[in-house]
Structure 1
Amino acid sequence: MRKSILTILFLLLLLSCNTQPAKEGNKQNSTEMGKKNIGSLLALYPKPMTIVGAEVEGKVNWLVVGHTGIIGHDRILVSMSKSHHTNQGIKDSKKLSINLVSREMLPKADYVGSVSGASVDKSNVFEYHWGENGTPVIDASPLTMECDVVDIYETEGFDNFICSVANTYAAPDVLSADGKLDYTRLKPVLFEFPTYSYIATGEILGKCLNLDKQPGMCVKEPMTANGIVRLSK
């Protein structure tokens, strides 16, 4: 009996020794994947280029904001440097508008992003009207969201406004026949921070969660050699 137990233990020891190298072999070394570690770089670009509208000390002001995001299905994050003149107006009113930028708007958008409202009156750069929620809405923008600020989260050097959407205004030519947003018509300008470039949106590759029914959709050739279309300032 004792001999049988010893035999079983010996076999188990052999098995454990034989399986250990296989486990080690399954581990992937990142240095063998052809990728280079370029540090802790924030690389979630490009982002939609937006113009934030707000009333500051009784005057309308426009500010280009490239750092926006989505929180859940009902909140928007607008991240703005604390040095911006617009921040205090937003803190006072708890309101702002987010205006997407079209190609036609780009020269004026580039301008309002290059000068400060503390020293330059930018109120008349764009034709606008007051939205139902009391924020300035750019007439030329293909899509504008009026937002209420529900919280402010501060990080080093930045005020991060967490907003709910009160109203959304869309130009008729960016809507489909059934009244829904069509981003192939909207084609908002994107902004890439590391190189300060304006980028155009690309083509539709396929429908999400439905690519198995559309073989080959993800292997289309890009529009340019590097898949990027850059817009001049």
Structure 2
Amino acid sequence: MSKKIHKPITGLFPLSAVLVTAQSGDIRPNIITIAWTGVMNSIPPVVYVGVNPLRYSNHLIAEAGEYVINIPSADQVPAVDYCGLVSGRDVDKFEATGFTPVPAEHVQAPLIAECPVNIECKVRQVLHLESHDVFIADVLAVHYNEEVLDEKGRPDYQKIKPYGYCLGEYYGISDKLGSQGFSRKLKHRIDE
């Protein structure tokens, strides 16, 4: 098997494509599309978003010290893409997309009602890198739309319909490949 070397890039994929809402003071809330997001710690739960300082939401998050990560479903890709193409300086993205702002429990930034999952975040630290500010935040609350929960009240990912962002394109995540720990049942095959 041969490999071809490329110049360094952020070559991790798929990335989560999320909608981050931010609001500071009396300024109308904004929505920004973010692919640079993830988990940093489990206990306590800590997440992050990376936002270019030139983006309108950067100063909203910096001033307020909080944000909401809204996880959209695959059928919302056109609105997610749109929110990444226009600036909140010029466009009310809630009005333009038809998304409904819903008050959060702990932060000023609203939840997006139509997104099946919403994560309220309080910034604990900002890491200023060359191209992006990384807003590291404690998770204050997680909201699920009732219709995406299974009979035991757990998130059902088939109903949430998450998707990934890969090198400028959106891809669905559809096939279950296994469950955590399933490789132990296959151990004899792996060791051979």
For the structure 1 residues 205 and 110, does the alpha-carbon distance in structure 2 shift closer, same or farther, using more than 3 Å as the test? same
Instruction: Measure the CA separation in 1 of the matches of 2:91 and 2:132.
Output: 22
TM-score by length of 1: 0.73
Partner of 1:116: 87
2:104 corresponds, among 131, 146, 169, to: 131
The alpha-carbon deviation at position 128 of structure 1 amounts to 1.6
Residues 1-22 of structure 1: CA deviation (Å, up to 9, x unaligned): xxxxxxxxxxxxxxxxxxxxxx
Identity across the alignment (%): 27
Q: Does 1:62 align with 2:31?
A: yes
TM-score by length of 2: 0.87
Higher mean alpha-carbon deviation, 150-159 vs 39-48, is at 39-48
Partner of 1:207: 179
Structure number with greater CO (CA < 8 Å, separation at least 6) is 2
Q: Read off the aligned partner of 1:78 and give its amino acid letter.
A: V
The alpha-carbon deviation at position 214 of structure 1 amounts to 5.7
**Residue 22 of structure 2 aligns to a residue in which SS?**
strand
**Residue 59 of structure 1 aligns to a residue in which SS?**
coil
Q: Does 1:165 align with 2:139?
A: yes
Q: Matches of residues 1-233 of structure 1 in structure 2 within 5 Å?
A: 33-56=1-24, 58-73=27-42, 74-124=45-95, 125=97, 126-133=99-106, 134-192=108-166, 194=167, 196-213=168-185
CA RMSD of aligned residues (A): 2.1
> Number of aligned pairs?
184
Higher mean alpha-carbon deviation, 206-215 vs 65-74, is at 206-215
**Residue 86 of structure 1 aligns to a residue in which SS?**
helix
Moved over 3 A (4+): none
Counterpart contact for 2:116–2:148, Cα < 8 Å: yes
For structure 2, the 5+ residue unaligned runs are none
Partner of 1:225: none
Q: Read off the aligned partner of 2:150 and give its amino acid letter.
A: S
Q: Read off the aligned partner of 1:167 and give its amino acid letter.
A: A
The alpha-carbon deviation at position 41 of structure 1 amounts to 3.0
Structure whose CA Rg is larger: 1
Residues 118-170 of structure 1: CA deviation (Å, up to 9, x unaligned): 22222423112111113211110011101111110000021100011111111
For structure 1, the 5+ residue unaligned runs are 1-32, 219-233
